[in-house]
Structure 1
């Protein structure tokens, strides 16, 4: 990693010179009475701040320098990290997770030392001393701890017992678990203590650690499942104190077109011609050894270390994938500026000197994410941390085995599930490191020939007759967007040149980030998760072919010999719903709007609606996914899916299968409903139907809401012969109830509600007088028609969700998340 107050290489070299990975230590020498008595027998560690420790007694004393002119004894960057996590996706408390980053100031008032988190987001740096004081004093800070002064050294430095600061719930464990429904927690003082043996002082950072135990009132299901004693939850919380970077770093003003992460600041000393609220791009500091050269080596490279807990061959794949970024930095003018290595033996992944790709275990699959410790004053990144869920590659293996069959496993060819999964994990490593070095997602990259690792990649699969071909499943290396984003974020060029490059990049590359991609009703046509290609409708048709081929082959060949046949239920879900994310991409064309993040004068300011013909083609593509023939499953497979499992339940399996109304027997109808819901919920999201209403108002030739509803109901309620009648009826019910649900939403206008109500009344009238020849269909039609006409009863059913069948979780199917974005379920 890259500290600019000595540098990582310098800090590590000093540590190694003084005895491997251990900090510099010395026996405390005699000093004047009081102070000398306080440190007698303690081990002294000199570094950024001086520590006195005694692991036998658990004592940790911190020596703070004499007060500066502003009264602060010391000012550092502080953050926490979890040494031990819960091991559950639901709580989000993962091993190596970084907590909030703050500017921490220690101040002495009388006989006490206060620890205060300052508020640098509001300031007036270019103003007079009075202006600066007014900006500082106008906004609340947070005094988070106070401790008694143990002694004062002859030079005026202050000795304080830091235990109370370290043992408080600084990471927010109590509110996090409460919000996750895991119980009400209270600290147990007798079981909470500083671990003095883990206290370390280095030239540019101090590392401290504590064990926190909480009593749990009414523990939730996750704690009951995971904790040995759910009434007591123990965490090891790590604290890092980092030297403030010097003022040689040049903050980079943020540009919304470039895909950088940012820090928001409010500058009350800004000229009247400038906004007071601005953003600074988050990035590491890179300094060329030759500032005049277009291409140069650097004073301190960015180095990421791969957690030694990652096993081979995964560990090597993580190194290879993360190293792709070296190419982007080379193109931006930095030679050997980015490196990836395996963490040295004995190295602590939580030590602030290391940027680490952590390998994290959980009880069930979940997100991976990239985090950064950022100086909130400037946007400078001082530590990068990546958390990769270890079950992700297992889920990928399960999906690929379901697609191509287990017999290919270990064969070594392009269709070997192990090789495909390793290709995916390389991408994942690059993606999460991208967040840690300062980049947002770009969910439009997949529409421009896989232009970025910062998208969520779905494998490109060729269909050759009745076989699937994975030879080009995942892209390798940096995409064009990645090179552009790193060039803008890190290139050492004047601001005018940065502006020119941002304008050129925005004209070349599509960019869509989280706020315009994750919500089901999003309008941005190019921003989708797990999609492919520049023609979403064509890709959906292709994925439906992939799905057909896979389902036709699905069965015992999709699992290892000796595995429980009941596990087919779990393996079926991602194959049966393989099209679900491309459905989202196609739905965004309906009522879609093409817009970006322009700045005035770049020539791309105005948004445009998706052409009506494209919207209608998308609508027909979505309707095709509701065909009963696509949703039916053959009897031989249904016979296998009826198999049961004995023994204790496995939560990884239990939450990943289709629900059943038939008891323990597999319910094909519920699977059909889940697939239908994927399409209907995307198409009839409240935001989308509102846009359809508005587009119809503005352009009579546009696809409107009435036409959309009529096209869907006409197709869905068409007669379906024989065994296809039942999946058809499941889709029919889901369609009617989805539309009826809009009438209960507070997110639709009166006009939209009126259109939906009108079309439901027309549908109800047709169904109530059904004369279908099939008696089951006739009964179903008349029941559904009567339900739609009885709004009170319909509302009761919708309120209680009595007609709902839960859909198994989708993302993350090799998905990921980051600290700055909300996970998608």
Structure 2
């Protein structure tokens, strides 16, 4: 007898719907027929948390959309709940909690909300035995759960939309605790917007992807893993600010006795000894990294060894082979993107993006790391053959064009017109912004009138920036005949770079944050010692962005990249993974963290570098003496300039290598200048707790600040600091092939003078900015003897003396004292900034600074007028001095803008 037909409006029977379908067993059973996918949901599956791990399986190789990346910003603890004939997938709010069954828990429930990620209709009647129902899943996975359409719109300013009709589910796989669904999503834009000449520009204009056949259409493949959560929660381990671990944060309202409800606990893998009593025991379940089958054969051994280097830290705390590495076979039936597989993958990008990355997915309830996927960009390994980044002049020109600022009228500027002065300063700022970022000294906010800056998302750029330094090192070696870029020695050099990069990213996947203070942990004599750097880490931690270890001219070469773990790495692993009894853990962790004042264990991370004044929490410095480091890098750059001038190129090589080499050297010198500038007004911010014997806030000694200032003045702000011969400048041809691939991004000209002016402008912005003045004044208040400290007036006086040495010179023997072109450009920049600060005192936050600036302008104007009257001056110098004096006088006469 046939089953009765369902009542109108009710779903069909379970058996009817699954007829002729293909079943995939997994965490959820999946039933598939043609382009339809149904998930079988058991009654016990509702209202039960599980783990959602979305990843980008296929991208476009640009705009951050690279195949193999974990998805960020997507809630990963989710739950299914049923509302009549609708099943909702909701992201759980795990940030606010309270002990279950308490009045506080009811209050938290009333004050929080889940988020809807998608909804699916109930597609069948309950199974007659299992009582499960089928839900249609196409709309869930072919949708905007990850917001990829919005990401495309932000990146290109085009109207990209998801095209569901041409999107499809391409793969469904299952394991007992996992279900994998892959979707190939089509995005399109009906029409491409272009920026026409004359259109107003208020921000970045529309652009298009460079590497798709038709920019109106592209596909993105998304890999979804739905995974069962661990049955037993891993025991949380409290975070400590003295050591850098990634953390989970939760507001626990169960107890109102603590100062704050916020609890922080670290991210770590679940690692337990097989034999808890043994001094050295294998783990119950090792941390296993799979090398994806797409990793090139020649790099696999280096990557494997770099991963296993971390076992040294685990052996010290009793784990034997805590980490293992396995190779995915070519015919393996799993994907290393699966949420239960930690992996290392090779990525092909069309333009440099991140170099390498080490993200994780974590159970927010306990901090247990469940998954990690390290990605290595192929360009990072071949960067010594290709240009890693766009040239700064084109960056500066593009920034100036996007700012929409017109060139100021010369007459208005001479009259001290406030708007013109502001435009001039803003234009200078646009040109020097790239140098400011490069030098790690921040944007010159005071001259732009800004009072704050937004903190962007922190991402690991260690491999990307280290790869540029790799290119610089090989460039330095090649002209001297020491290293051919195509030689086996060069390949070995790249392998060393790759080893450091992989060690760094593995550290991230073990739960460790950046440690930018570690590069200052080792004395300079040991840093540059070849024997020491080969045997030990020449920094305190591989989690730093350490500058490549280059030899001084004529000195033997130390190991360029970090080859092993530093003392901080052992310490951080001990805190996170040492097995501790529950009743002893709190005391033991405090004892471990209390070692923070020991040599080699200093810690400072991204916030310390971006938001603080700490002269040690820097990127791409090296050694305990910042002045010695900067002097060494300046000498290396000067030697590089001289050798490039003598360099004979073979007839089968174009001139572009000279421009790249010069650019590398200038960039490195700029970073060295940034290290010096962080010393001036610097404040060491130590993470010590009471009892270490050190004050946590320590101004940089005044002698060190003055020495750093003097070195900047006699190098970066000296016209002869970087001598680049005219003959070399005539040979700085562009890479014509790169120009064809990146039209408008590689200019024909390469103005060495403009490069140096932009670097000098960044230094001027820093030294004349309100931020530095305020920091210097604040530091004086921290000194027992303020009179011995470095004050803003002294900085201003030293700066003016360095920029205007000609004011102290008189004609000798009737000969004129001329001021050269480069010096005039620098002096003009100094005057323009000083005049702007006079007219807009609101840019300066301290009353004393405002008064001092006005007095400085009055005194300088008088000296300029006197110098212009001295007999024997040439006409150009006399006109320059008078023009600068009138600019200051006009600013002093003008109505002040106090708002």
1:447 corresponding residue in structure 2: 520
Q: Does 2:587 align with 1:514?
A: no
> Measured at CA, do residues 256 and 697 of structure 1 come closer, stay the same or move farther in structure 2, by a change above 3 Å?
closer
Deviates more, 1:137-146 or 1:750-759: 750-759
The 2-side partners of 1:388 and 1:503 are apart by 36
> Measured at CA, do residues 144 and 224 of structure 1 come closer, stay the same or move farther in structure 2, by a change above 3 Å?
closer
The 2-side partners of 1:194 and 1:529 are apart by 44
Alignment of 1:162-173 (within 5 A): 162-173=137-148
The 1-side partners of 2:297 and 2:854 are apart by 59
1:229 Cα shift? 1.4
> Measured at CA, do residues 647 and 593 of structure 1 come closer, stay the same or move farther in structure 2, by a change above 3 Å?
closer
Q: Deviations along 1:82-125, whole A, 9 cap, x unmatched? A: 1122322xx32332221224211011111110110010110003
1:29 corresponding residue in structure 2: none
Q: Does 2:174 align with 1:201?
A: yes
> Measured at CA, do residues 788 and 229 of structure 1 come closer, stay the same or move farther in structure 2, by a change above 3 Å?
farther
Q: Does 2:658 align with 1:568?
A: yes
> Measured at CA, do residues 742 and 539 of structure 1 come closer, stay the same or move farther in structure 2, by a change above 3 Å?
farther
Does the 8 A contact of 2:149 with 2:161 survive in 1?
Answer: yes
Alignment of 1:525-604 (within 5 A): 525-555=615-645, 557=647, 562-599=652-689, 603-604=693-694
1:34 corresponding residue in structure 2: 13
The 2-side partners of 1:327 and 1:561 are apart by 50
The 2-side partners of 1:363 and 1:740 are apart by 46
Deviates more, 1:329-338 or 1:151-160: 151-160
The 1-side partners of 2:755 and 2:862 are apart by 29
1:704 corresponding residue in structure 2: 791
> Measured at CA, do residues 135 and 792 of structure 1 come closer, stay the same or move farther in structure 2, by a change above 3 Å?
farther
2:696 corresponding residue in structure 1: 606
> Measured at CA, do residues 136 and 458 of structure 1 come closer, stay the same or move farther in structure 2, by a change above 3 Å?
same
Name which one, 1 or 2, has greater alpha-carbon Rg. Answer: 2
1:60 to 20, 29, 37: 37
Does the 8 A contact of 2:233 with 2:366 survive in 1?
Answer: no
Deviates more, 1:645-654 or 1:223-232: 645-654
Alignment of 1:168-187 (within 5 A): 168-187=143-162
1:729 corresponding residue in structure 2: 824
> Measured at CA, do residues 460 and 685 of structure 1 come closer, stay the same or move farther in structure 2, by a change above 3 Å?
farther
1:136 corresponding residue in structure 2: 109
RMSD: 3.1
1:333 corresponding residue in structure 2: 318
Which ranges in structure 1 are unaligned for 5 or more consecutive residues?
1-31, 797-825
1:249 Cα shift? 0.8
1:692 corresponding residue in structure 2: 776
2:739 to 629, 632, 649: 649
The 2-side partners of 1:724 and 1:199 are apart by 74
> Measured at CA, do residues 484 and 648 of structure 1 come closer, stay the same or move farther in structure 2, by a change above 3 Å?
closer
The 1-side partners of 2:845 and 2:83 are apart by 58
The 1-side partners of 2:649 and 2:658 are apart by 7
Alignment of 1:254-269 (within 5 A): 254-269=239-254
Q: Deviations along 1:659-697, whole A, 9 cap, x unmatched? A: 7xxxx3332210211332453345455433210133346
1:312 Cα shift? 4.3
Does the 8 A contact of 2:774 with 2:846 survive in 1?
Answer: no
Does the 8 A contact of 1:185 with 1:214 survive in 2?
Answer: yes
1:62 Cα shift? 1.0
Does the 8 A contact of 2:75 with 2:92 survive in 1?
Answer: no
Does the 8 A contact of 1:452 with 1:478 survive in 2?
Answer: yes
> Measured at CA, do residues 379 and 145 of structure 1 come closer, stay the same or move farther in structure 2, by a change above 3 Å?
same
1:533 Cα shift? 0.8
2:392 corresponding residue in structure 1: none
The 2-side partners of 1:451 and 1:412 are apart by 32
Does the 8 A contact of 1:559 with 1:568 survive in 2?
Answer: no
Matched pairs, number: 743
1:110 corresponding residue in structure 2: 84
Q: Does 2:772 align with 1:674?
A: no
1:613 is paired with a residue whose SS is helix
Which ranges in structure 2 are unaligned for 5 or more consecutive residues?
1-10, 194-204, 389-466, 523-538, 810-815
The 1-side partners of 2:60 and 2:722 are apart by 38
> Measured at CA, do residues 104 and 506 of structure 1 come closer, stay the same or move farther in structure 2, by a change above 3 Å?
farther
> Measured at CA, do residues 775 and 424 of structure 1 come closer, stay the same or move farther in structure 2, by a change above 3 Å?
farther
Q: Does 2:96 align with 1:96?
A: no
1:782 to 857, 861, 882: 882
Q: Does 2:395 align with 1:422?
A: no
The 2-side partners of 1:318 and 1:653 are apart by 36
2:527 corresponding residue in structure 1: none
The 2-side partners of 1:439 and 1:602 are apart by 23
Does the 8 A contact of 1:676 with 1:734 survive in 2?
Answer: no
The 2-side partners of 1:143 and 1:80 are apart by 16
1:789 Cα shift? 4.2
Q: Deviations along 1:9-66, whole A, 9 cap, x unmatched? A: xxxxxxxxxxxxxxxxxxxxxxx98111211222212121111123xx1222111221
2:87 is paired with a residue whose SS is strand
Does the 8 A contact of 1:167 with 1:193 survive in 2?
Answer: yes
The 2-side partners of 1:327 and 1:723 are apart by 64
2:457 corresponding residue in structure 1: none
1:435 Cα shift? 1.0
1:390 corresponding residue in structure 2: 378
1:348 corresponding residue in structure 2: 335
> Measured at CA, do residues 413 and 648 of structure 1 come closer, stay the same or move farther in structure 2, by a change above 3 Å?
closer
2:55 corresponding residue in structure 1: 81
Deviates more, 1:666-675 or 1:612-621: 666-675
1:431 to 504, 513, 516: 504
The 2-side partners of 1:433 and 1:561 are apart by 43
> Measured at CA, do residues 325 and 95 of structure 1 come closer, stay the same or move farther in structure 2, by a change above 3 Å?
same
The 2-side partners of 1:171 and 1:746 are apart by 44
> Measured at CA, do residues 104 and 471 of structure 1 come closer, stay the same or move farther in structure 2, by a change above 3 Å?
same
1:227 to 209, 212, 222: 212
Deviates more, 1:92-101 or 1:157-166: 92-101
Deviates more, 1:670-679 or 1:420-429: 670-679
Compute the TM-score of the two structures, normalised by the length of structure 2: 0.77
1:246 Cα shift? 2.4
